[in-house]
Structures are given as C-alpha cells and as structure tokens.
Chain A
Amino acid sequence: MAQYNFENELASVLKMDAPITKGPMMRWQRKLNESNTCNNSMNCSMNKSLGMNASINTSTTAKTPKKSLNKSLNSKGSKTPKTPKGLGDRFIPNRSSTQFDLSHYKVMNTDTENAQDETMSPSKRDFQKGMSDNLHGDALNAKIMSYQTKAPPAPEGYQNNLKVLYSQNKTPGSCRKAVRHIPQVPERILDAPEILDDYYLNLLDWSVNNHLAVCLGGNIYLWNATSGNIQQLLSMENQEDYVSSVSWIKEGNYLAVGTSSSEVQLWDVENQKRIRSMTGHVARVGSLSWNSYVLSSGSRSGNIHHHDVRVPQHHIATLSGHTQEVCGLSWSPDGKYLASGGNDNMLNIWPAIIGSQDNSNNTPLYTFSQHQAAVKALAWCPWQPSLLASGGGTADRHIRFWNINSGSSLNAIDTKSQVCSILWSKEYKELISGHGFAQNQLCIWKYPTMTKVAELTGHTARILHMAMSPDGTTVVSGAADETLRLWKCFGVDPQKKKEQKSSTKGTSSSLMRGGIR
C-alpha cells in the first residue's frame, strides 16, 4: 500500500510539470492517511516511534523520524538529539527495500500507457457522458447522433438571395426630383443571343466612330449605331473558344479582342482583318484597356500584360498584383494610372509605364482591399482627374470612391445589389451603375451627394456590361437575359444646350465644358 503511494509520489515528482503542491504529501497528512486506512501494526509502530525515537517498520519506506525528532526536540528542550542510525531529518526512504531501477523503469514505461488508457480515455468518456447528461438529461431517453461527414457548405461568396431582396430599397420618395426628364423605358432593345452570362468578362464596347462591339459566344458583331447596320467581325475557329473581352482603341479604327484561348488580337475594323495576334498569357483574357499605343490586358491567371502594339516585341511589362482573375481594367483619362480589379477582391492602382523595361513600375502604387467581392466595375471621373469609382460584386455591393493622388477612400455607398459596371456621365455630374439581383436595374446617382436620381428597370436577369455612346447621351446595357437595352438617360435638352453655348461664348470657361478642347 505505502509502496504504491510512494511510487505515485515519485512519478509525480519525476514529472516535474505538476505544481509543487502536488509533490509528496506532508508527512502529517500521510501519517493521518495511514492511520485512517490501515489501522494495524503500522499504526502501533508509529505510536511507538513517538516515544522511543526508533523502531522503523521496514515495510514502510515512508516513515521518517522527523516528527519523532521534533517531538524529542520539544520534550528535551534545546538539546540536540542524536540522529538515530539510518534515520535523518529529511525524507529518506528505505533504499534497501526500494528497487529504484525497477520502479524507475516501470514509472517511465507505464507513464505513456497510463496517460492514454487510464487518465485520458476515462476522462474523455466521463466528459462526454457528463456533457450528454447535462445537455439533454437522462430523462430524454434517447441518443442523439449525427453523420460524421458534414453537409457540403454553400459555394464561397454565395449570399442568400432573400437578404438582397429584403434589404432592397426603392428610391426614397423624398429624394430630390431630377430637374431633367429621364426616360424610364429603353429607347431600343436589341437581341443578344448566346451572350455569355459570366460576370468576369467584358463583352461590350462602344467606339468613337459609333460602332458598338458585342461578343456573342465565339462571335463579335459590330452594330453601327448611326445606320443600324450589323456586321460580323469575327468568329472563333475553335468551337469551344469564345471571346472574353473587347476594347476599342481611342481612335475607333482598331478593336482589341481577348479570347478564352489566352490570345490578344488586334482587328482592323474597316477591312475586317486581323492585324496581329499577341500571345503571352496563360489563361483567358477577361479585361482590356488602351492607353494610346499601349494595350493592357488582364488575364484569369491574375497577371496584367502591357503590349506595345507598334513593335514586334509587343510584351513590354507584366504586372502581377492579383492572385485571381483580373476582371476590371481601366486607364485613367490622362493615361497616368491604371486601375485593376480582381476576383481576389483587390483593387490595384498602377503607375504608367515610363521606360519600357523599367521594373520599378511593376509594383502597385496603391492596393485597396476594402471591397468584399470581385471588383469589376471601374470608372475614372472625366471632370475630376484622379477620382476613381469602383464597384464590388454580390458579397460587397458597394460603390467606393478613391482619390488616387492621396490614396484615400472618399466615400462608399451600399447599393444593395451586385455592381457590374459604372459609367460617369459626360454631361451631368452623375454616374450610372448596373446591377444584378434583385431588380437588375440601372441606377443614376448624383455625385458627390450620391442621391439616387433614377432607377431604370427592365432587364429580367442581371446586368453584366455597360457602355456609353460617344456623344455621352446613351448608355447600352447588356444583361444575362440576352438583350441589349439602350437608355437615353443623359440626353441633353436642346434649349438648355443653346443657353449653355451662348454662356460659354461669353465666359469661355465652364466646368462642364472643360473637357472639350
């Protein structure tokens, strides 16, 4: 009995990780235990030892004469007692009767087993039992089980549609009435069969020559907005390939085309001929933007390439700041900054390329991570340089405004719906945004107050792309319902125009006219 006690004590001492209080019991405690548990000869011997200062029971290793020593000290006053033979004033077990080697081996050997078999699993079992008893009590008389493999979670970024529906807000009635008339119905509806329902592509662009380029699957059609003629520009050779992005050069005579086969092509529209085909990307090219002779292309790989379209070695720079598909790409009107938005929810601002091989330009000037979803909608303000508007996807739904000079966030508004595209008006201090679920509407906002001027509804599926006519009066929206709708939402009142013209003649400077040279 006592030997086991000792072994346990020894084990706890050897562990060294227990608090000191868990060390060997105080002697008086041990004695008390012994006297309580085994009320036999040991007890007697202890009693005897009190008086006689000797007589150690050989069977107990735990007996030290400390107490008896004290006793004798007390009884005999200051006289130093003679230490009895084989006994000390410290805890010294009877070494002859203790097989240290064996016990050490046993202690060390059984330590791990003990830990698992005797301490861990029963405690776990107890814990579980206690938990289940506490939680549902025995009265329930049932066992609650659940399948170990859990149900697959909903796809990342998925948001409960009901949330969008319930948080949707109609234009408040108190909002200031627009001074101008905005037609609530589209001026024209064009069919766009087989337009890809893919948020990450950019399939619509309107040239300065009034050609609207529309990608329908593997084909590009040009709609001449002046005459209404339609011509097919190209059709992908491979059935599985599709056009993933289009962008007109500023002059309007060339069209840049990004494809799912990771090519960037350049087309001469007048002759309907491909001028060049530029390779270099490893994944589909979902976004394009021109800066005079430099074409920037963003790919699904997250890389942005700058192509100098004049020279044979077109690939002049690679910007790798995104970890996922680049879905928004836009050069600022002055050509100083490139804004890129990715599916990694990042918005990067890049400085313009000065030297072609300069690596210092390959780090973003600013990186904004405030959006909670893919950043596709990007638009630079035409009248206020360095003002950028960006819109986030389903999980974010915010339009944010950035000052690129200072790198600060100016404003953010929750639109309550996926933002797929933003365009600034050239005529008014307004911007228009295209949205997805629940109303698939276009919203016109006053800037900088961001009050809603109008909501244009009509699309029956989410809006994917928008483009503005060269005169700035009409906005075309392409949606997943396979229609293109033309909204004359920034129409100019002729009378007002006349007044303005006369006034500009007089003062020769008006903020509104500032952009026209």
Chain B
Amino acid sequence: MAASTCQKNAITLKGSTETVSEFFMYGINSILYQRGIYPPETFTRVQKYGLTVLMSTDEKLKVYLQQVLKQVKDWLLDTTLQKLVIVIKSLDTNEVMERWQFNVECDKTVKTDSKPREKSEKEIQKEIMGVIRQITASVTFLPLLETACVFDILAYTDKDQDVPETWGEAGPHFIANSQEVRLRSFTTTIHKVDAMVAYRNDD
C-alpha cells in the first residue's frame, strides 16, 4: 500500500516529460479552439484535468501537432527546451497577432536514471487545470481576431542544439507594442512551465 502511493508521487524525468508534453497538446488545442483559429465544429469535447477540453478532430492538424510535440518531447527529455511559443499570425498580412509563450525551466541535474522526485500527480494536475482554465478565460480580455489567422509553433532550445532535419531556424516573431499577461505556472519539480500571452495593443 505504502509502496504504491510512493510510486504514484514519484516523478521521473520521463514521466515529467510525458506530463509536460501532454499539457502542451491540450493547451495548444485549447488555444486554437478558444481563439477561433479553426472552425469550432472540428473540435470534440474531452475530459481532462477535471475539465472539459476541446480537442481538434482535423486529421492534418492532429498529425502536425503530433510531429511537433514528438520533437518537443525529445528536447524535454534532454532538458534543453527553454520555451515553446505559439504564434498566431494573420493569414493575409502575416502580422503576428498573438504570442502564447510557455517558458520551460528544466532542472539540468536530473538524468533519466536519477532518483525520482516527490510530488503528487493530483497536485500537478490541479496546477495544470489552473493554466488551462486561464487559457479559456483569456477570451474575455484578448482582442478579437478580425482576420483569418494561422498559427505556428516555435521552440527555443539551448544554443548548442542541432536543428533537426525537418525543422528550421526561425525568428522570434515578436509583437511590436504588445500587451502582456502573465498566466499561472505549474511545475513537476523537474520541468517548470510558466505561461504568458502577449497580444497586439492597438491603442
């Protein structure tokens, strides 16, 4: 009994990577739905983190996200990921409208075979729930996206990382004259994820 609960609260690098990349999956889908980047009828309701999260059913989009997050997972496992940024751009003008930034602080001392950390899964889930909720609530203050938009995912890694074959180097896609809102953060004790959203300040 005691052993099993102990197992539940143990956080390994691998497990932490799973948790964080899973969060990215749900988080990105939530952003895409809430900001209306894709038609709402292409989303389906899924119970997760004690919330109803909307996940895309668009096959092409699913494949894209899976491929991106597979690479992100590798970087998380190497503890070389610094940031993951979801950039929302106008389709016509290519202007950056919104920038969802997830700062990832990796504990570099942890290796795959090092001793697991202690933190209950429930607690982490609760923290993630807070972040997802804030993403949902952000619709109330973010300006309306007037034009059709596309999104892009940027990954900030350590300088010494090689660019994978299917990836390319990109600019940071900053928004000039932006307004920033810091969202909640969560930590698995190995990876700490800070969420933030920047949007165009028109006035």
Contacts and interface: CB of A to CB of B under 8 A. Distances in A.
Tell me if chain B binds chain A.
Answer: yes
A145 B39 contact: no
Interface string A152-187: 111100111111001000000000000000000000
A357 B139 CA distance: 60
A132 interface: yes
A152 B61 contact: yes
A152 B167 contact: no
A226 interface: no
A168 to B, nearest CB: 12
A163 B149 CA distance: 12
Interface string B66-109: 01100100000000001100000001000000000000000000
A155 to B, nearest CB: 7
Nearest to A142: B156
B150 A145 contact: no
A271 interface: no
Contacts of A28: none
B156 to A, nearest CB: 4
B168 interface: yes
Contact of B152 (A142, A146, A155, A166): A146
Interface stretch (B15-23, B127-135, B169-177): B169-177
A145 B168 CA distance: 5
Given A151-B64, A154-B37, A163 B144 contact: yes
B181 interface: no
Contact size range, B: 35 or more
A151 B87 CA distance: 11
A146 B154 contact: yes
B145 interface: yes
Nearest to B83: A142
Contacts of B60: 152
B2 interface: no
A144 B154 contact: yes
B171 A131 contact: yes
A147 interface: yes
B75 to A, nearest CB: 9
Given A151-B61, A151-B150, A144 B156 contact: yes
B58 A143 contact: no
Given A141-B159, A151-B151, A162-B36, A146 B168 contact: yes
A141 B170 CA distance: 14
Residues of A contacting B: mostly: mixed
A341 to B, nearest CB: 23
Contacts of A153: 91, 148, 150
A131 B158 CA distance: 18
A148 B171 CA distance: 13
B155 A145 contact: yes
Given A153-B91, A161-B40, A128 B166 contact: no
Nearest to B36: A160
Contacts of A160: 36, 144-146, 148-149
A142 B155 CA distance: 9
Contact size range, A: 20 to 34
Considering residues A142, A161, A163, which has the most beta carbons from chain B within 10 angstroms of its beta carbon?
A: A142
A143 B170 CA distance: 9
Nearest to B64: A151
Given A142-B83, A162-B36, A149 B64 contact: yes
Contacts of A131: 171
B38 interface: yes
Contacts of B144: 160, 162-163, 166
Contacts of B169: 128, 132, 143-146
Given A152-B58, A152-B61, A160-B145, A144 B155 contact: yes
Contacts of A158: 38-39, 148
Nearest to B148: A154
Interface in A85-138: 128, 131-132, 135-136
Contact of B161 (A128, A143, A147, A163): A143
A510 B23 CA distance: 71
Contacts of B58: 152
Contact of B163 (A145, A154, A163): A145
A131 B170 CA distance: 10
B44 to A, nearest CB: 16
Contact of B156 (A143, A150, A166): A143
Nearest to A162: B36
Contacts of B157: 142-143, 145
Contact of B172 (A144, A149, A159, A161): A144
B73 to A, nearest CB: 13
Contact of B171 (A135, A147, A149, A155): A135
Nearest to B166: A148
Interface in B108-160: 139, 144-146, 148-159
A43 to B, nearest CB: 48
A170 B39 CA distance: 24
Contacts of A142: 82-83, 156-159
A155 B164 CA distance: 29
Contacts of A163: 36, 144-146
A143 B171 CA distance: 9
A274 to B, nearest CB: 37
Contacts of A166: 144
A82 to B, nearest CB: 66
Interface of B: 36-40, 58, 60-61, 64-65, 67-68, 71, 82-83, 91, 139, 144-146, 148-159, 161, 163-164, 166-172
Given A145-B169, A146-B169, 18 more contacts: A131-B171, A140-B156, A143-B156, A144-B156, A144-B169, A145-B155, A146-B153, A147-B68, A148-B167, A149-B64, A149-B67, A150-B150, A151-B61, A151-B64, A151-B150, A153-B150, A154-B150, A161-B39
11 contacts: A132-B169, A132-B171, A144-B169, A147-B64, A149-B67, A151-B150, A152-B64, A154-B148, A158-B39, A161-B39, A162-B144
